Structure 1
């Protein structure tokens, strides 16, 4: 089960099997690039200019990277144009997670996979959840934009994803706190074929 794997093995398991056109949101410094297969067509949407410049000069197994400016909440891509979307530790920083997840669903082809890894909200009423709420307010005021108290799974369900391969696990954080995470792949379901003739 992926929850017991170290970080590099988790990335390899989630990313190594992807094929076709892969859109990565917020690739940052490019930590995921070495894990993709050499035959993928990779598109990165990165809002930070410094990261875009670095990504364009980073060797990748699939050759020249297509790096674009943009934000997850409004993707300048046609509907149903990619085979997979990768967003790892991105949803904590977007302004509107529902809009971002809806956009991910829109650009995926039916049957396409949304590979996700995120730290998520601890249960309500716990000390950890109170600390997450405080941390989100503090980092937001300084522009760091990390909101660790978000719950992406309900938004994924609302967008129409099937979460059959998304798992919960805990990573040891500051002062030994167990930080809840999710990781795996959600699927945009293919049409059922209703209304068509056999």
Structure 2
């Protein structure tokens, strides 16, 4: 079954990548330390919006983390170490209202986290440099937005094996496939 046939734009999906040491150690150590920080950040973002909205009485937020995958650097000409990649699919009944301000707030928080781990600002016109931590918002529900700072959903996530492999793993745990009538399949 092709991923394009699945309802993947359900929830909030964040990718993590690293191929050089951070302020906290090697990429694997970076992920171990970063995972609970991301969960705390997202829960705080949700809770702040709950106090503003007061629409949802009880909230449940579940984090589905993929395994860690190793991949070759994408699009580089210089020799770089391989990347470690993982992603998290967050399901919640209490996400903040889908607005540009809320999406950019989350992006700024992720950029602050990257800086905390030692990531330096990428020089203009320089793509695909080694990184101690790279956090990308792949999608947030069905919210679509585009400017110089942020594009949602991420325009190239379906073309990256370092996203597709962990995404397939997470979706296999979060999607239910049911057989209906003859040979048609539905995905919840």
* Fold-level similarity (TM above 0.5): no
- Which gives a bigger RCO, structure 1 or 2 (Cα 8 Å, sep 6+)? 2
Q: TM-score, normalised by structure 1?
A: 0.26
